[in-house]
Amino acid sequence: VLALINLLNNACFLRMFWSVSLLGRSRPAGPSLA
């Protein structure tokens, strides 16, 4: 169970990091998009 939670946290962090870095090129990234 702990490994599953860790995996979900990593996936959420990677998705948030990817979306912020991708949106940061065209427009300033906002916390609402995270």
Residue by residue, pLDDT tens for the chain (34 residues) are 899 999 989 998 888 888 887 776 665 555 555 4
Residue in 2, 6, 7, 33 with CA at minimum distance from that of residue 20: 33
Q: What is the pTM of this model?
A: 0.46
For residue 27, what pLDDT is reported? 59
pLDDT of residue 26: 62
The predicted structure's pLDDT at residue 3: 92
Of 22, 8, 5, 1, nearest in space to 34 by CA: 22
Per-residue confidence (pLDDT) for residue 34, from 0 to 100? 46
- Other residues' Cβ atoms within 10 Å of the Cβ of residue 26: 7
